[in-house]
Structure 1
Amino acid sequence: MIEYNNSQLKKYPRIVFIGGTSFSICSLQQLHMLKYNIIGIITNPDKYIKKNKNIVFNNKIKQYAIKNKIPILQPTNFLDTAFIETLKSWHIDIQIVVSFRILPKHIWNLPKIGTLNLHASILPNYKGPFPIHWSIINGETHTGLTTFFIKNDRIDSGNIILQKKIHIGKNETYGEVENKLKKISGDVIVKTLDQVIIKKQTHDNTSTSTSTSTSTSTSTSTSTSTSLFYARKIYNEDCRIQWQTSFVDVIYNKIRGLSPYPTAWTYLFIKNKFYRFKIFLSKKILVPHLYTIGLVTISAFEMKISAKKGFISILEGQIEGKTKMSVKNIINGIKIKTNIFVK
């Protein structure tokens, strides 16, 4: 076991950062800015995009690693011998995982102190890959971040170290809530890491060395929820709006919970043809009416769709074959204003 004196305690444990999305970058930047000893980074294999007629990779984690000369690994297979041997040669004290795919035991069990994970929900509720989306879709008023030690192969399960709760605004979208969580993720990771290192030294790697007075297993955490929701992956068909069976509140939450990605959609009937129609932004109008469900009514500045107990007023959308645009431009592009409905 490595021992740290007081001057080494904060900065020098050998840390490997593991992240795969833009959500990860804030935590990495915060740790690096505060001069924590990041000896390596693990991220996803490259995906390339076209930019200014050039083909470039779009992995922000890799871009940051290259810019700051931090060694980087991009495994396609966690069983790859060369990858495993490189990790072992790094003599890792702590791994920090933020927004990455599931790690096998021989990877998360490798560091001397352990592997920390940050998850975008208040565990044990909303375990799974899409916690922010589902929290908004389900009409939750709060979400947050949880850090925990990975101790088994069950998804998002382990001993909770720290939790930070935030409010979800009644009109906030997935993108807005994700940005709020990004902004606090670095501070949450830093506080977690400091707590773990201090407890590690103070209690000499006992079973309580990484617990706080409120720490507990995610399976036994005190939760006010009567039932726990698993935030499974969202597929294309999950994004389709069910006008006939859903109330206006449910539809509105779905639209904002899927905006800007993967985006709620429906079929829009115009001029005897159905077009796929994505809805990025909307507002709900709660008012009784006698309109047929799914009927689209258009005025000079408003496009609204009748639903159970109200209307969905479109603010920003995209008709198949066109770019994303404001409702004003959508209305201007629709020449016939009658006999339009969604399905």
Structure 2
Amino acid sequence: MDMSNKKLRIVFLGTAAFGVPALEALIRSSHEVIGVVTAPDKPAGRGLHLSKSPVKQVAEQYHIPIWQPVRLKDPAFLADMQALRPDLQVVVAFRMMPEVLWKLPPMGTINVHASLLPDYRGAAPIQWAIINGETETGISIFQLSHEIDTGDILSQTRVPILPGETAGALHDRLKIIGAELLVKTIDDMVNHRLQPIPQHQLIKPGMVLHPAPKIHKEDAHIHWDRGAKEIVQLILGMNPSPVAWTLLDGKMLRIFRAHVCLPLSKPEVPPGTLDTDGKTYLHFAAADGWVAVEELQLEGRKRLPVREFLKGFRG
């Protein structure tokens, strides 16, 4: 049977902003998005008004039917999915799915992941790649299987990490690249142009695989007894969330941007010592050099560039 012009019926599953360009690209494609599955609305803000996920907002804009199950194994929800008769499901920035759901369509379920799998499997690949000082990452599209982020690779593209790039900036680049690769991959699936590659074939002898688990607030705590470059990578990788932090006079100091003072010279003071002229710079001593803060926010105050911050700082 010739599938070269087949219009696939696709169910999209996603919640976070990373999935929005992918959903919009599918809507613009030759295929049909017949349903969207996203997280239940959550209370947000001071008034705790219910907040819709970014993916739900797009689905409403295009009048696509929406499901927001609390449990993905809910029999009524699964019956609805079966009744839709999707050819394919696409998952982007969602949650773990039960086998009964990801095996439902004839063509299975594919996932868009922001790393060069099998490296950086997990919930936060963008942040960990920057924290670990990588100079390259990418997008992998793979077929869902039992273990998380381990299915056969359908397509990949490499993406350089720019000097000084934050996790937020890299996220915004990768979500566009991922959306473009997704549509191309689905078209290649329809036209039998893909050869799925088991991930174990991509693991070279001696290759070290990095985990990318969910980020917690304590992961963002700055330890000044580490190297200056490592600390700056942590600061960039934790921007925009949860934001790297330290304590200053008992108050939380959040640091959004910083750079290494070059040339590196080992400070003759304990790690964490603050140095400033009160006008133009604020430096912290690391194990092997100084970290120059560029943008910061002291507890109870506004987020400011360092020069603006120092105008009101008496430390």
TM-score by length of 1: 0.86
Indicate whether 1:240 and 2:240 are aligned: no
Residue number in structure 2 paired with 1:276: 252
The alpha carbon displacement at 1:298 in A equals 1.3
Residue number in structure 2 paired with 1:292: 270
Q: Distance in 2 between matches of 1:296 and 1:54?
A: 39
Residue number in structure 2 paired with 1:220: 201
Report SS of the residue matched to 2:283: strand
Q: Distance in 2 between matches of 1:304 and 1:31?
A: 47
In the alignment, residue 256 of structure 2 is paired with which amino acid? F
Indicate whether 1:15 and 2:10 are aligned: yes
Contiguous gaps of at least 5 residues in structure 1? 200-209, 337-343
Q: Distance in 1 between matches of 2:71 and 2:50?
A: 23
Q: CA offsets per residue over residues 87-145 of structure 1, 9 Å max, x none?
A: 01001110011111011100000001110111100000000001011001000110000
Off by >4 Å, runs of 4+ in structure 1: 3-6, 222-225
Q: Distance in 2 between matches of 1:154 and 1:66?
A: 32
Q: CA offsets per residue over residues 15-73 of structure 1, 9 Å max, x none?
A: 0011110000001111112242111111111124349x893524121111111110110
Indicate whether 1:162 and 2:155 are aligned: yes
Q: Which runs of structure 2 are paired with 1:130-279 in the superposition (5 Å)?
A: 130-150=124-144, 152-199=145-192, 211-212=194-195, 215-223=196-204, 226-244=207-225, 246-269=226-249, 274-279=250-255
Structure label with greater radius of gyration: 1
> Any conservation in 2 of the 1:48–1:58 contact (CA below 8 Å)?
no
In the alignment, residue 259 of structure 1 is paired with which amino acid? N
> Any conservation in 2 of the 1:49–1:58 contact (CA below 8 Å)?
no
Residue number in structure 1 paired with 2:23: 28
> Any conservation in 1 of the 2:3–2:191 contact (CA below 8 Å)?
no
Residue number in structure 2 paired with 1:305: 284
TM-score by length of 2: 0.94
Match of 2:41 among 38, 46, 57: 46
Report SS of the residue matched to 1:70: coil
Match of 1:116 among 110, 115, 118: 110
Report SS of the residue matched to 1:194: helix
In the alignment, residue 75 of structure 1 is paired with which amino acid? P
CA 1:243–1:54 in 2, change beyond 3 Å: closer, same or farther? closer
CA 1:57–1:35 in 2, change beyond 3 Å: closer, same or farther? farther
Q: Distance in 1 between matches of 2:63 and 2:219?
A: 41
Q: How many residues align?
A: 312
Q: Distance in 1 between matches of 2:75 and 2:310?
A: 58
> Any conservation in 2 of the 1:160–1:211 contact (CA below 8 Å)?
no
